[in-house]
Amino acid sequence: MPQLESRRIQVVQSPIIPVVGELIQNTPGTISLGQGVVYYPPPSQAIDRIQQFWQNPDHHRYQAVQGIPELVAAIGAKLNAENGIVVENDGETPSEIVVTSGSNMGFVNAVLAITDPGDEVILQTPYYFNHEMAIRMANAVPVLVPTDDQYQLQLAAIRAAITPRTRAIVTISPNNPTGAVYPAADLRAVNQLCRDYGIYHIHDEAYEYFTYDGVMPFSPGSIPGSGGYTISLFSLSKAYGFASWRIGYMVLPAHLMAAVMKIQDTIAICPAVISQYAALGALEAGIQYCQHHLQMLAQVRQLCLEEFATLQDLCTIPPATGAFYFLLKVHTSMHPFQLVKQLIQDYQVAVIPGMTFGLEEGCYLRVAYGALQQDTVAEGIGRLVQGLRAIVGSGEVQW
């Protein structure tokens, strides 16, 4: 029997979460500060809305590829009220909403719709690993542009990376894996670059509600006249505790709609309809549901900051005013995955190594604090600090 494997897939990195998950399973009692999910469940309104799904037997049939009309309308109202994004089917730059099976599917839709093999998509490093993986699966080329030492955009470097094969620039704010929030002025500048060069601006806003210290996120899709080249990605996974329900949505230029409908119809036909009804309920609960839980996350974040302050001689920890991540640069020559393995095996705490986010030089660790109750996070951060002190502090510190 043939044992051939696509060369296209061979160059795609393996997802790191299952690899670390296996290490955790082999070390009972490990506290995971790895996966980026929230500790709270969906709102009750989401569960209540599922009853509406059961009431109509036709709901068990395929529904509209774009999403059920009620949810598309609710998303449009939310975008207008909260993001300043006006979705219009006419005018100079018409746009559309598509409900997706999570924002990852929205990104895959976008990349397949705008690239041919060999085309380039600019990512900021550190990048979100599923974005880089999707670009490679499409036989496109990820072009990596480093952020600065505070994980902020470097506009001159982004401009210099644009070539005749560039099809899009990707930004994520609030950011995974760094927790950085990009200033509105910088996102406007990227969006203007895309307008000037005739390319797309793909902006991921999955963590839109998760900001701290008075920092506010900005939606490039709200810029007047940007609807013809801006693709905005959103998710219910984080804000509404919806990770397994797989509901996100995208706002895209209307001229890409036919292509995206082909892609989504082939991959999923339509997002799970029962999840779409739950999403209706989640949007009814609204931003207030997330903000209530955000107060607890803010307290956990402050706890992390206080613990990390004791590691200043061993780690560089840039400000993280968004999402629920810190990306530590550890002053060691140790390989990051080896450090992760030792932290799990000897100190029963798990984090994610930075090389999976495109950081090939240096030792970086992503710490996620959103998935656990405050006392458990406190214990996990305590183990991490103790482990780094013992493992890294006992050796020669590499700056």
Predicted confidence (pLDDT) per residue in 204-231, tens digit: 999 999 999 999 999 999 999 999 999 9
Task: Round the CA-based radius of gyration of the chain to a whole number and report it.
Answer: 21
Neighbours of 396 (CB within 10 A): 8
In this prediction, residue 13 carries a pLDDT of 86
Please name the fold of domain 7-41+288-391.
Aspartate Aminotransferase, domain 1 (3.90.1150)
Q: In this structure, are strands 166-172 and 200-204 parallel, antiparallel, or unpaired?
A: parallel
What confidence score (pLDDT) does residue 394 get?
65
CB contact set of 313 (below 8 Å; sequence gap of 6+): 331, 393, 397
Alpha-carbon distances of 213 from 171, 348, 369, 376, rounded to whole Å = 22, 31, 17, 23
Q: Which CATH number fits domain 44-286: 3.90.480.20, 3.40.50.11540, 3.40.640.10, 3.30.70.2740?
A: 3.40.640.10
Q: What is the pLDDT of residue 397?
A: 41
Q: Where in the chain is the domain with CATH 3.40.640.10?
A: 44-286
- Which pLDDT score, from 0 to 100, does residue 138 have? 96
Q: What are the tokens at 182?
A: 């990009």
Q: Where in the chain is the domain with CATH 3.90.1150.10?
A: 7-41+288-391
Q: What pLDDT is attached to residue 8?
A: 86
Low-confidence stretches of the chain (pLDDT < 70) are: 1, 394-399
